[in-house]
């Protein structure tokens, strides 16, 4: 069933696991992630970046694909369609009006005061329609929506102030994670994570889930992280499968012959993450 992230994440935080947000790019991605969730009996969040939404034909098309698959595959686990790194109130509104059940407003590159003001506007619109809202403070490293940035840790007192001023449902405090592969081991701010979790009493979100060692995943979950975003790892797995197929076969022209293995590779990756995050059998 299509639901917001609110109850999913409250339950996850209370029971000590994290729900995965897996980004989708097309039909096969959506199929793979929904199949993985149903097989694992895991709640799941389908992340849709603005770029991916545009690529798939617009937010309305995304919603109809997801709704269609939920019906055809008889999906029974909770599924959220979530705008990933929404860049403005207007983009969040567009996603909500199209039927998204959750949005992230990422105003982290604005001043703190502007971040609060924009996030508040989104929460008012979203909550009236039972849509959950994620906000961000600090800066995730690597490429974030085409902007290559350095890492900036979130300030715990600002996190507390943002949560109190806006009534968001979950918070992504950037604490050293990076979008895309890590150069070496990540250096996550666990002390800040614990402090922010205590100060805000909200489920925390960990962006840049690709390449974080299991011990750091487990520690993050124990310190209040209830949602972990993974994108790059599925892209690498899917592209590897397609490349292997095409490198060995110069004759095939039916795209299903190589998109099928890519879909399987995504499904296998997602199942692995659900078990690692502890969300399997929690739906």
Q: Which residues bind Zn ion (CB under 5 A)?
A: 207
**Closer to ligand G3H by Cβ: residue 37 or 172:** 172
Rounded distance, CA 227 to CA 14, Å?
12
Rounded to a whole number of angstroms, the minimum distance from the CB of residue 179 to Zn ion is: 6
The reply on whether position 232 binds ligand G3H by CB under 6 A is yes
Rounded to a whole number of angstroms, the minimum distance from the CB of residue 39 to Zn ion is: 26
Stretch that binds ligand G3H, among 57-65, 147-155, 159-167, 202-210 (CB under 6 A): 202-210
**Closer to ligand G3H by Cβ: residue 180 or 261:** 180
H or E element in which residue 102 lies: strand 102-105
For 214, other C-beta atoms within 10 Å of its C-beta total 9
**Closer to ligand G3H by Cβ: residue 24 or 165:** 24
Count of CA atoms in the C-beta half-sphere (13 A) of 100: 31
* Catalytic sites, residue numbers: 84
The reply on whether position 229 binds ligand G3H by CB under 6 A is yes
Stretch that binds ligand G3H, among 30-38, 94-102, 191-199, 204-212 (CB under 6 A): 204-212
Give the Å distances, CA to CA, from 85 to 11, 57, 137, 207.
23, 18, 12, 10
Rounded distance, CA 93 to CA 97, Å?
6
The reply on whether position 82 binds ligand G3H by CB under 6 A is no
Rounded to a whole number of angstroms, the minimum distance from the CB of residue 106 to ligand G3H is: 9
Rounded distance, CA 19 to CA 13, Å?
9
Give the Å distances, CA to CA, from 99 to 36, 128, 159.
23, 13, 29
Residues 141-180 that bind ligand G3H (CB under 6 A): 179-180
Count of CA atoms in the C-beta half-sphere (13 A) of 28: 17
For ligand G3H, the binding residues (CB under 6 A) are 23, 47, 84-85, 179-180, 207-210, 229-233
């Amino acid at each position: 069933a299509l639901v917001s992230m609110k109850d999913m994440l409250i339950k996850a935080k209370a029971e000590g696991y994290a729900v995965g947000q897996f980004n989708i790019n097309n039909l096969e991605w959506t199929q793979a992630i929904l199949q993985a969730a149903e097989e694992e009996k895991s709640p799941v969040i389908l992340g849709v970046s603005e770029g991916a939404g545009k690529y798939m034909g617009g937010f309305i098309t995304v919603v109809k694909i997801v709704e269609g698959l939920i019906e055809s595959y008889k999906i029974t686990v909770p599924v959220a369609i979530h705008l990933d790194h929404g860049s403005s109130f207007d983009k969040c509104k567009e996603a909500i009006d199209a039927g998204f059940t959750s949005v992230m407003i990422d105003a982290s590159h604005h001043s703190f005061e502007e971040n609060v003001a924009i996030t508040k506007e989104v929460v008012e619109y979203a909550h009236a329609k039972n849509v959950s809202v994620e906000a961000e403070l600090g800066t995730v490293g690597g490429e974030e929506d085409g902007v290559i940035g350095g890492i900036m840790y979130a300030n715990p007192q600002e996190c507390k102030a943002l949560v109190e001023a806006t009534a968001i449902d979950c918070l992504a405090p950037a604490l050293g994670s990076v979008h895309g592969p890590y150069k070496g081991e990540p250096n996550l701010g666990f002390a800040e994570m614990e402090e922010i979790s205590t100060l805000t009493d909200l489920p925390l979100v960990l962006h840049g889930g690709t390449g974080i060692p299991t011990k750091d995943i487990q520690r993050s979950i124990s310190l209040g992280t209830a949602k972990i975003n993974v994108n790059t790892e599925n892209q690498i797995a899917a592209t590897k499968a397609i490349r292997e197929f095409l490198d060995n076969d110069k004759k095939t022209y039916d795209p299903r012959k190589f998109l099928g293995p890519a879909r399987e590779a995504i499904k296998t990756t997602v199942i692995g993450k659900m078990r690692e995050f502890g969300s399997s059998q929690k739906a």
